[in-house]
């Protein structure tokens, strides 16, 4: 048995000014991993591609590993980058194989295609019409019909923070192996409801999504091969942004449809609970100052790099500095220029920097605004670490040349590659113990809860500035299908 296993992951924020070239998919190298280097990098890691490798090795299959690319969310993928990766996958399929297992995100928009995944799957289907194709997807998939039409089995994460990447790889891969071995005949049904659940209300740890994901897991315990409810990714102005569901059963299309509708109906009934209410920043910071103990997480959720944020807006950090909050660690400001200046100055030096604000945000009509910050260079590191988990456990992390600027009251991590804080490892590397801080400013939305949630005494959500704004009114939606809730409060299912 020969299996083609590949990864090509990107969540595209169509409002983001951050460019998405091939290097962004390459984790610090010039081009993404190819061949046996992929097995070495991912075998035994808590990722979907890690699960595919385990499944294939257990089945005694020959592995063909054409490419593994995973880019931090940003603007539309450059055509050259997309074609570089897609061509390698298609070439591997053209040489002959028994099945393809793909670790994709499910919200990839390219310069040429609204649906990067559907385009890739359509090309594979054209090349090999009967080839079984299994795909692991993120819960933030914006599901286009072409993805369902051109795959055999789709399965998406059932947790947010995403701590079940490995299990999702298993859920997508097992039906394909069962098909190859004559043990099952997967059928798949999908559907959607016209709604854009707010990212700040999507966590599976609580709220409406907890019950929906619990129901999906119950369906699998009761014999469904894979049941997935996608919350969708709203910061993508494309026709099929929003929530959807897909269910795979063994030969029972009626049951698949019933399960799919059950998940979608739960979401639609609870749609008002997926709407987020915004608190002004000054009120949030004043509230945080009244709280006792720590660490209190000050969540800069408008500028999360893992949703396409530039990670260099200074509104929330500026508010913290202006309010005089003390014993604060801030992770992080993306500013390679500032990190280089701190390295040139050296550990122990006093510096004054025009920090952050290097990137304009045309989709919001905003210019980047740096802020003068003075402090001592406390730490300089190369930024390489391994995730301790539970999210992407064992996978390598790279925040590039990184440094800590200590103002006396605030320790500011300054990094050179976009890195969302969801793991303790980058803090350790920078010599910051988050558990000992009174306040932790994090540029994140939900994923921080994976590795740092247990440390937090309280959370204060801080409305700042950024292209993953939590205020939909700041975004101009022109292409998403209408009516859609809550942009259109009276939208009907």
List interacting residues with Zn ion (CB under 5 A).
Answer: 138, 140
d(CA 43, CA 26): 18
The DSSP secondary structure of 74-131, one letter per residue, reads BSPBPHHHHHHHHHHHHHHHHT--SEEEEEE-SB--BSS-S-HHHHHHHHHHHHSTT-
Instruction: Between 45 and 158, name the residue whose CB sits nearer to Zn ion.
Output: 158
Instruction: Between 138 and 164, name the residue whose CB sits nearer to Zn ion.
Output: 138
Main-chain dihedrals φ then ψ at residue 154, nearest 5 degrees = -115, 140
d(CA 335, CA 329): 17
Give, for 49, the enclosing helix (H) or strand (E): helix 48-58
Question: Measured from the CB of residue 159, what is the shortest distance to Zn ion in angstroms?
Answer: 10
Question: Measured from the CB of residue 52, what is the shortest distance to Zn ion in angstroms?
Answer: 19
Instruction: Between 11 and 335, name the residue whose CB sits nearer to Zn ion.
Output: 11
Which residue of this chain has its Cβ atom nearest to Zn ion in the complex?
140
Burial label, 394 (beta-carbon count in 10 A; 0-12, 13-18, 19+): middle
Question: Measured from the CB of residue 169, what is the shortest distance to Zn ion in angstroms?
Answer: 15
Instruction: Between 119 and 164, name the residue whose CB sits nearer to Zn ion.
Output: 164
Instruction: Between 56 and 238, name the residue whose CB sits nearer to Zn ion.
Output: 238
Instruction: Between 11 and 461, name the residue whose CB sits nearer to Zn ion.
Output: 11
d(CA 214, CA 478): 34
Q: Which two tokens stand for residue 220?
A: 């699998």
Question: Measured from the CB of residue 296, what is the shortest distance to Zn ion in angstroms?
Answer: 25
Instruction: Between 72 and 284, name the residue whose CB sits nearer to Zn ion.
Output: 72
Question: Measured from the CB of residue 446, what is the shortest distance to Zn ion in angstroms?
Answer: 9
Instruction: Between 118 and 232, name the residue whose CB sits nearer to Zn ion.
Output: 232
d(CA 137, CA 149): 15
Q: Which two tokens stand for residue 202?
A: 């999507």
Instruction: Between 65 and 231, name the residue whose CB sits nearer to Zn ion.
Output: 231
Of the candidates 152, 353, 338, the residue with the CA atom closest to the CA atom of residue 248: 152
Question: What are the angstrom distances between the C-alpha of 417 and each of 77, 100, 286?
Answer: 17, 31, 32
Query: CA geometry: angle at 55 spanning 173 and 246, to 5°?
Result: 15
d(CA 234, CA 165): 21
Q: Which two tokens stand for residue 199?
A: 């990212």
Question: Measured from the CB of residue 429, what is the shortest distance to Zn ion in angstroms?
Answer: 24
Question: Measured from the CB of residue 231, what is the shortest distance to Zn ion in angstroms?
Answer: 8
d(CA 313, CA 152): 42
* Strand runs labelled E in 158-239: 186-192, 226-230
Question: Measured from the CB of residue 166, what is the shortest distance to Zn ion in angstroms?
Answer: 15
Question: Measured from the CB of residue 228, what is the shortest distance to Zn ion in angstroms?
Answer: 13
């Amino acid at each position: 048995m020969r299996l083609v296993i590949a990864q090509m992951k990107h969540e595209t924020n169509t409002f983001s000014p951050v460019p998405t070239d091939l290097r962004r998919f390459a984790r610090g190298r010039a081009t993404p991993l190819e061949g046996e280097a992929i097995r070495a990098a991912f075998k035994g890691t808590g990722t979907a591609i890690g699960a595919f490798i385990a499944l294939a090795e257990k089945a005694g299959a020959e592995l063909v590993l054409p490419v593994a690319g995973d880019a931090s969310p940003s603007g539309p993928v450059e055509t050259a980058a997309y074609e570089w990766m897609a061509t390698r996958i298609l070439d591997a399929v053209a040489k002959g194989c028994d099945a393809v297992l793909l670790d994709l995100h499910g919200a990839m928009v390219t310069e040429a295609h609204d649906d990067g995944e559907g385009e890739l799957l359509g090309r594979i289907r054209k090349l090999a019409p009967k080839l079984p194709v299994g795909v692991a997807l993120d819960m933030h998939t914006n599901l286009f019909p072409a993805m369902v039409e051109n795959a055999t089995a789709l399965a998406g994460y059932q947790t947010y923070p995403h701590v079940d990447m490995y299990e999702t790889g298993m859920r997508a891969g097992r039906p394909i192996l069962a098909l190859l071995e004559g043990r099952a005949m997967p059928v798949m049904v999908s559907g959607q409801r016209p709604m854009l659940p707010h990212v700040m209300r999507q966590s599976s740890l609580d709220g409406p999504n907890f019950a929906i994901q619990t129901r999906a897991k119950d369906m699998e315990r009761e014999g469904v091969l894979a049941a997935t409810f996608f919350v969708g990714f709203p910061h993508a102005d494309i026709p099929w942004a929003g929530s959807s569901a897909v269910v795979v059963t063994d030969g029972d299309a009626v049951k698949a449809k019933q399960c799919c509708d059950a998940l979608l109906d739960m979401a639609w009934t609870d749609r008002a609970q997926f709407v987020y209410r915004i608190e002004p920043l000054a009120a949030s910071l004043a509230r945080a100052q009244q709280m006792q103990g720590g660490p209190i997480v000050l969540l800069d959720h408008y500028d999360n790099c893992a949703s396409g944020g530039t990670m260099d807006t200074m509104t929330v950090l500026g508010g913290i500095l202006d309010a005089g909050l003390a014993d604060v660690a801030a992770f992080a400001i993306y500013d390679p220029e500032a990190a280089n200046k701190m390295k040139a100055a050296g550990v122990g030096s006093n510096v004054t920097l025009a920090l952050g604000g290097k990137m304009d945000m045309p989709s919001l009509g905003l210019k980047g605004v740096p802020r003068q910050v003075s402090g001592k260079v406390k730490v300089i590191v190369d930024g390489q670490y391994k995730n301790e988990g539970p999210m992407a456990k064992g996978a390598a992390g790279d925040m590039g040349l990184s440094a800590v600027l200590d103002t006396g009251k605030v320790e500011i991590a300054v990094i050179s590659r976009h890195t969302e804080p969801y793991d303790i490892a980058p803090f350790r590397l920078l010599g910051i113990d988050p558990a000992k801080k009174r306040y932790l400013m994090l540029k994140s939305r939900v994923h921080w809860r994976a590795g740092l949630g247990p440390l937090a005494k309280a959370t204060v959500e801080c409305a700042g500035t950024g292209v993953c704004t939590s205020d939909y009114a700041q975004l101009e939606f022109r292409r998403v299908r209408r009516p859609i809730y809550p942009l259109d409060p009276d939208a009907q299912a």
